[in-house]
Structure 1
Amino acid sequence: MSKAFVKESDADFEEEDEVPDPSPKGVKNYITPRGFKALQDELRQLRRVERPKIVEIVSWAAGNGDRSENGDYIYGKKRLREIDRRMRFLLKRMEAAEIVDPLQQPNKHKIFFGATVTYADEEDNERTVRIVGVDEADLERGEVSWVSPIARALLKAEVGDLVEVRTPRGPQEIEVVAIVYEER
């Protein structure tokens, strides 16, 4: 029988909708202290504020009678599943996290996790990026994951080194201009 004619319940999707682990398999989940605190804050917000509010709405909606046509109840249950899924994901990421403080880096003349790096491309355009964990990467703030192509190319380089980065346009050579270890 075709799947198009089979009724699927919400329970069928709960396990499939699990958020995938963004880290490569077999690789540690490095994270800065600030990034770990952000995960803790999000979990605390979900657990102490959002989830209790939605539970209250769902229990109120359940008391109104017919649940099959009650939008507050249906949406509330769906939102509860989303919150619970996100909380499980955050807990797993925090359990696997290895906190690395960039300020404790002994070799500040080389690029390692947590470094803020300024580099120049072939057209002498300078750009600054900070190498952070997978969970805290944000390109708009200039933070790239340590497993990204640019970070992998820059790791262990020193000021003045030329490194090759693989880009969609092909290999590109960049020069390391500055390395700073600071807490942002």
Structure 2
Amino acid sequence: MTERTNPITPAGFAALRAEYERLFAVERPAVVEIVSWAAGNGDRSENGDYIYGRQKLRAIDRELGRLSRKMKAAKVIDPTQQPDRNRVFFGATVTIADEDDNQRKVTLVGDDEADAGQGLIGWNSPLARVLRGASVGDLRTVQLPAGAKEWEVVEIRYPG
């Protein structure tokens, strides 16, 4: 199995690291303290604090492992350093218009930082895949569950 790298913006990587550090430095020690206290109360088989604490500790450890794997596979790409600003690449904010001239603005970010409600679409989403490499004026067709939809690239911007 080949290891796949995951492009991510510097801000997205910082958010992953902050979540990891919060879980590791704040949440986990607090739960360990509760489990230690509960273990000292005698019979563990019917001790709700101990049982719940152990379950919560396992959940935190799983999340720490998941975040660690994501950070290890992440490839931080700074969109402000993009040399070719006339085409759509990682980090671009793209204004697209459909056949009815309804415009939509999307920013191509890492899959871990995608939030469609905020206009942040994951690098591997169907729309991002068809927009990659496009220039202003290009028509791109994306296959959606409801059928094919054509978009025209109206504007491309990069931060910085």
Deviation at 1:94, TM superposition (A): 0.9
One-letter amino acid of the counterpart of residue 153, structure 2 = V
One-letter amino acid of the counterpart of residue 100, structure 1 = I
Question: Which residue in 1 is equivalent to 2:21?
Answer: 44
Question: Which residue in 2 is equivalent to 1:137?
Answer: 114
TM-score (norm 2): 0.95
Deviation digits for residues 42-92 of structure 1 (CA, Å, limit 9, x no counterpart): 000001000000001111111111111111111110110011111111111
Q: Percent identity?
A: 57
Of residues 74, 79, 84, the one that matches 2:51 is 74
One-letter amino acid of the counterpart of residue 96, structure 1 = A
Deviation at 1:28, TM superposition (A): 2.1
Do residues 123 (structure 1) and 96 (structure 2) align?
A: no
1:29-178 alignment runs, 5 A limit: 29-178=6-155
Q: Given that residues 140 and 150 in structure 2 are in contact (C-alpha distance below 8 angstroms), is that contact kept between their aligned partners in structure 1? A: yes
CA RMSD of aligned residues (A): 1.2
Q: Does 1 or 2 have the higher relative contact order (CA < 8 Å, sep 6+)?
A: 2
- Stretches of 4+ moved more than 4 A in 1? none
One-letter amino acid of the counterpart of residue 93, structure 1 = K
Taking the aligned partners of 1:52 and 1:161, their CA distance within structure 2 comes to 53
One-letter amino acid of the counterpart of residue 52, structure 1 = P
One-letter amino acid of the counterpart of residue 111, structure 1 = V
Partner-residue secondary structure (3-state), 1:108: coil
- List runs of 5+ in structure 2 lacking aligned partners: none
Q: Report the CA distance shift for 1:77/1:142 in structure 2 as closer, same or farther (over 3 A).
A: same
TM-score (norm 1): 0.83
Deviation at 1:27, TM superposition (A): 3.5
Number of equivalent positions:
159
One-letter amino acid of the counterpart of residue 92, structure 1 = R
